[in-house]
Amino acid sequence: MTVSVHEGLFTIDPPALLGARCDGCGHHHFPRLAQCPYCGVEQVRPVTLSDRGTLWGWTEVTVAPPGYRGEVPFGFGVVELPEGLRVITRLAEPTAAYTFGLPMRLRIVELHTTEDGNPVVTWEFAP
């Protein structure tokens, strides 16, 4: 059985990030919070965010962060979604070909496997 690396952040099929839209100021945010991080009101509505965006910034992680069990190196950066928010995200390789504004699409990838052999997945954006 496929396992999400972190519950509540994304869906696997179809691939989607779980965000929210504020009824007060209209801003979207991710990850989903009970209170708007921009204006503080508690009237936020759960939404599924767009699976497409544009590349805004990127780098390459060459040393595994603490607790990380996937492969290195991997891309890491910021993708701007049509909803107007920028998401910090894992990026597909190779990062050498990246340019500002490059169209990107969300996808689900296997990160590692559990001791029982079940795939553990996360999201990333790829060109």
Residues forming the site for Zn ion (CB under 5 A): 22, 24-25, 36, 38-39
Q: How far is the CB of 29 from Zn ion (least distance, A)?
A: 8
69: how many CB neighbours lie within 10 A of its CB? 11
Q: Which is nearer to Zn ion, 38 or 76 (CB)?
A: 38
Beta bridge partners of 16: 11
Nearer residue to Zn ion within complex by CB, 25 or 126: 25
Residue among 27 and 105 whose Cβ is closer to Zn ion: 27
Q: Is 81 helix (H, G, I), strand (E, B) or coil?
A: coil
CA distance 24 to 48: 18
Phi, psi (deg, nearest 5) at residue 121: -115, 155
In the complex, minimum distance from the CB of residue 38 to Zn ion, in angstroms, rounded to a whole number: 5
- Please report how close the Cβ of residue 27 comes to Zn ion at its closest, in angstroms: 5
